Amino acid sequence: MARLGDILIRDHLITPGQLESALAAQGDERGRLGQLLVRRGLITLDQLGDALAEQYCTPYLDLTPQMVNPQVARLLPEKLVRSRGCVPVAVHGDTMQLAMASPDDLETISEAELITGYRVEPFVALDSPVQAVIDRGFDDRLVARQTLVDLKMADLEAAEEIDDDDLTAEVKSDEEQAPVVKLVRAILMGAINANTSDIHLEPHTPEMRVRYRVDGELQPVMTIPSHIEEAVVSRIKVMADMDTTENRRPQDGRLAVDEGGSRVNFRVSTIPTVGGEKVVMRLLDEGNQIFDLERLGLKSRDVATIQALIDKPHGMIVVTGPTGSGKSTTMYAMLSKLNAVSRNIVTVEDPVEYRLPGINQVASDNEHGLGFANALKYIMRQDPDVIMVGEIRDHETAATAVQAALTGHLLISTLHTNDAVGAVARLADLGIDGFKSGGALLGSVAQRLLRSICAECKEPVEPNRKLLDAMTKGQPLENDGLFYRGRGCKKCLGTGYSGRIPIYEILTVTPAVAAAIEKGVPGSRIRELALSEGMVELTTAGLEQVAAGRTTLEEVFYKISS
């Protein structure tokens, strides 16, 4: 087989000196020789394709992701196509066309024929387009979209071949069932692969909208035709062991799917709306969930402060913040630290999302007399050492929680307030007097989750000076003078962010703070006192992450001001 460089020199496309220089640079630059020559502007992609076709005596395929059906790309396992640099691109009869960076790889061709049962027709293609096709083919959201296209095409073909009046409802159901099953699974798998926390299926006119919540933000994924909307919802209900005949009242359920050898659970909630049933599925990936203070992303000072709080034998610790700020995860991490055979730890939650080994977890159930307040009273008779209450919502729960903290129990719960100091005012709003709050409260932990800048498209940026001055109050930021943002790429779905990091504001109730609470001094004075004793505000914690190049000024401002 002729060498690529020799072919290009023979055709007077490059000189021997240019070839020698490119070969010498291959150790430092990524990619094959042909791609390196293209990057240097010495040859075009078309010229490279012609040379590769001659080298391998195989047709060259100018590949683009959009020309390949994602379901065809999946004819071979993802692990194989990524490791071998090949991907199925089309099927004709008993022949499968296989785009390959190395079409002389007979072992891969034989393995592909064995797996698929097709006769392989190899084509030579460049590495980058092959990988792009693979990325697109194994994006479950695109597969779901393609399933919808296939479903619509099948409907059209069926309409041409058979008069609808001659089809019974049972036959139509059988025809739709397989695509609907495939569609629902693709939606679930796409959510898992996109690190989604929630899936929203929302009935609107003319089509149902599907959105994923990624890094705290809802992003549209696809729409589902109205004529299969009910079938999709029914399929989810069947998987979640819910009543498929009931669509006039809310329902809750759970379903599980197997992915990569592990089991991923979803909590399913349905509610009737004017357009139909809305479905929200919360992803509960227990295998990937981290309940360890040191691994949550806390700064060392925050880990030390929280550890000091939970080391106390009794008292109340509250975690505050808006919905979706990670309060439950922080509480679970605290419980994991406290978990020992010498302690009786009991929780009451609504609902119990994650099972913690060695901890007694109770599901709140108002219909059977197990609301937070009543459940807490029963738990007090169970000789607990540590109690976790999902949320303090009313006076009765607050009063019982404070009483438990004052009578020798360590109690952990959540409150909906904007900052750590706000917990004091919230307890007062719930009817707890300052004397009891000051005596019971050990600390208040306020938190937010900030989106991280995507590492793949991170780039320096000139900051918004007005916003910077307003947030720093004119004080210099301790960084290298550089600010960053995410430009937007495929990995981050064009958002510029990928993943999240927590920030904390921790109020430790020292004797001075406790005395101020008992006297009923204003929250602003308590904040000043706490700051003088070393409390770090949320804004300051956020700016520390900006200075470290992990997030943006805009993200900090949006999450803390909202």
Domain ranges within the chain, ordered by starting residue: 1-57, 64-138, 179-284, 293-449+501-537
Please write the tens of the pLDDT for every residue from 193-220.
Answer: 777 889 999 998 888 898 989 888 888 8
Q: How far is CA 388 from the centre of its chain?
A: 26
pLDDT at 87: 93
* Distant-in-sequence contacts of 20-25, Cβ < 8 A, 24+ apart: none
Whole-number Å distance between alpha carbons of 351 and 266 = 13
Peptide bond preceding 16 in cis form (omega within 30 of 0): no
* 3-class secondary-structure state, position 331: helix
Which range in 12-21, 137-146, 397-406, 475-484 is most confidently predicted, on average pLDDT? Answer: 397-406
pLDDT at 167: 42
Burial of 230 (0-12, 13-18, 19+ CB in 10 A): middle
pLDDT at 24: 75
**Six token digits for residue 39:** 């990057």
Q: Which CATH class, in words, describes the domain spanning 64-138?
A: alpha beta
> How many other C-beta atoms can be found within 10 angstroms of the C-beta atom of residue 176?
18
Q: Which CATH class, in words, describes the domain spanning 293-449+501-537?
A: alpha beta
pLDDT at 433: 93
**Six token digits for residue 237:** 């209900």
Predicted TM-score of the model (pTM)? 0.65
64-138 and 293-449+501-537 agree in CATH topology:
no
Confidence of residue 191 (pLDDT cuts 50, 70, 90): confident
pLDDT at 177: 54
Sheet with 315-320, edge to edge strand ranges: 360-363, 345-349, 386-389, 410-415, 315-320, 441-453, 497-508
Among candidate residues 511, 527, 522, 519, the one with its CA nearest the CA of residue 446 = 527
C-alpha triplet 176, 178, 180: angle, nearest 5°: 65
Confidence of residue 117 (pLDDT cuts 50, 70, 90): confident
Could you tell me the fold of the domain covering 179-284? Beta-Lactamase (3.30.450)
